[in-house]
C-alpha cells in the first residue's frame, strides 16, 4: 500500500506579530505543520506499519 499525505506549513499562533502599519511581520513568523496534517501523517505511518507499504509526505511551498 502506498499512502500520500499532504502537509501544509502554518504560522504558530503565538509567533505572529503585527507591524506599525498593521501588516503581518513575516520575518519573525515561526512555522509548524498543520495539526490535522500531523494526525494524518501519524495515521499513515501506523497503517504502513500494520499493512506494509510506503508513506510519502507531499508539501508545496517553502521547506
Using an 8 Å Cβ cutoff, are 63 and 11 in contact? no
Q: Please state the pTM of the whole predicted model.
A: 0.74
Q: What is the CA radius of gyration of the chain?
A: 16
Strand partners, 57: 5
Distant-in-sequence, close-in-space partners of 62: CB < 8 Å, separation ≥ 6 = 9, 31
pLDDT in tens, the chain (63 residues): 899 999 998 888 777 788 899 988 877 788 889 999 999 999 999 999 999 999 999 998 765
- Domain ranges across the chain: 2-58
3-state DSSP assignment of residue 7: coil
Which parts of the chain fold into alpha helices (H)? 35-51
Amino acid at each position: 500500500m502506498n499512502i500520500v499525505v499532504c502537509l501544509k506549513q502554518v504560522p504558530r499562533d503565538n509567533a505572529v506579530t503585527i507591524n506599525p502599519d498593521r501588516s503581518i511581520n513575516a520575518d519573525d513568523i515561526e512555522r509548524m505543520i498543520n495539526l490535522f496534517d500531523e494526525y494524518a501523517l501519524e495515521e499513515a505511518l501506523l497503517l504502513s506499519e500494520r499493512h506494509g507499504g510506503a508513506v510519502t509526505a507531499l508539501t508545496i511551498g517553502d521547506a
